[in-house]
Amino acid sequence: QVQGAGTAATGTLTTSTTDGNIGRVMRVGDFGIGAKSGIQFSNPTEQVPMPNECGFYTVGTNTATLRAGSWMVSGFSQNAMGGLGIVPSSGEAYIASYHNATNVFNLFTIRTTKNTTVDANGFIKAASPIVKLFANSIELNEDAKDQEITFEKLGTGDYLIKGSLGFAQEGWYIEIPKDANGNTVVAVLYETLENGDLSIKTYKRKFDFDIAAVVADLDNPLDIPTGRWIDIRLHEEPVPEPEEPLSETPVEFQPTNLSQAVAAAMIGV
């Protein structure tokens, strides 16, 4: 027995990476600490929808409760757990909570600059690939840069967006700038051409007395005003789920008793 090591020389190491016995001495990789990946958690149940021990976890594929990604889990008590998850492949982030006594599980999406955008009128909206269309140029967000998008101006108020996957198929897909009174600053006509290009045309506005509505004045095309833009939300292909990483090989030097570890270290092993 090593002299001067106190109770550490007789401490008992954990027997698994999720050994939660009080008083055990933790090893590298226990509860995901110090390892290159967290503890695998892939089989949730109604009773255990998320890990019930504090630590760092890896969820390899989307489960009935948690999204695939890296999760940090902490407990308020034995009956209440909370977690923060990040999906490395997409950058999405989630908050999860579970209360065992009430059997209530919650999963919330965190709204960030990754999944929201501030539109031309200053409102926060759901995002994906977004193209900001100006009078003489376009601006792409990070998601839109994944598509081979180009821009062509054919004439006054006549724009083509090329190489995209088309308008978003769910939710909003175009936002027109408005003035202080809530009126659109231009009238807009848009369509998807046979070759997949997006045609956006802007005009002066006029009142049609026959239908009692403001419509595009097709005889008066008008560029998008300086400093304003039209937001165009595009379709995107689903992000593939990350492959489930292989579990980390335990560190070669993992003796079953701390006294052995200390003794081995003292003789240079």
Are the beta carbons of 26 and 14 closer than 8 angstroms? yes
| Overall size of the chain counted in residues | 269
Tell me phi and psi for residue 10, to 5 degrees. -115, 10
Looking at the structure, tell me whether residues 122 and 106 fall in a common domain: no
Side chain identity at 11, as an amino acid letter? G
In a domain, 241, yes or no: no
Which residue, chain included where needed, has tokens 């006594």? 101
Question: CA nearest 224: which of 132, 124, 126?
Answer: 132
In a domain, 246, yes or no: no
Looking at the structure, tell me whether residues 131 and 62 fall in a common domain: no
In a domain, 173, yes or no: yes
d(CA 151, CA 228): 17
Looking at the structure, tell me whether residues 92 and 169 fall in a common domain: no
In a domain, 130, yes or no: yes
Structural domains in the chain (count) = 2
Are the beta carbons of 55 and 32 closer than 8 angstroms? yes
In a domain, 243, yes or no: no
Looking at the structure, tell me whether residues 99 and 163 fall in a common domain: no
In a domain, 198, yes or no: yes
Q: How many other C-beta atoms lie within 10 A of the C-beta of residue 148?
A: 9
pLDDT at 235: 93
Looking at the structure, tell me whether residues 15 and 84 fall in a common domain: yes
pLDDT at 201: 98
Looking at the structure, tell me whether residues 58 and 125 fall in a common domain: no
d(CA 127, CA 119): 10
Looking at the structure, tell me whether residues 220 and 256 fall in a common domain: no
The domain containing residue 101 runs over which residues? 6-111+251-266
In the chain, which residues have pLDDT < 50?
Answer: 1-2, 247, 249-253, 255, 262, 269
3 state DSSP class of 107 = strand
d(CA 229, CA 20): 56
Q: What is the CA radius of gyration of the chain?
A: 29
pLDDT tens per residue, range 91-100? 889 999 998 8
Looking at the structure, tell me whether residues 89 and 124 fall in a common domain: no
pLDDT at 103: 84
User: Residue 145 is encoded by which pair of tokens?
Assistant: 């840069």
Burial 163-187 (b: 16+ CB within 10 A, else e): ebbebbeeeebbbbbeeeeeebbbb
d(CA 262, CA 129): 56
Looking at the structure, tell me whether residues 159 and 134 fall in a common domain: yes
Looking at the structure, tell me whether residues 140 and 85 fall in a common domain: no
In a domain, 204, yes or no: yes
Q: Name the DSSP class of 178.
A: B
Looking at the structure, tell me whether residues 81 and 126 fall in a common domain: no
pLDDT tens per residue, range 241-268? 555 555 454 444 454 555 555 455 555 5
Query: Is the sign of the CA dihedral 212, 214, 216, 217 positive or negative?
Result: positive
In a domain, 84, yes or no: yes
Looking at the structure, tell me whether residues 189 and 173 fall in a common domain: yes
pLDDT at 253: 45
Side chain identity at 8, as an amino acid letter? A
| Strand 158-162 with 150-155, pairing | antiparallel
d(CA 39, CA 199): 50
Instruction: Kindly state the helix (H) or strand (E) to which residue 57 belongs, with its residue range.
Output: strand 55-59
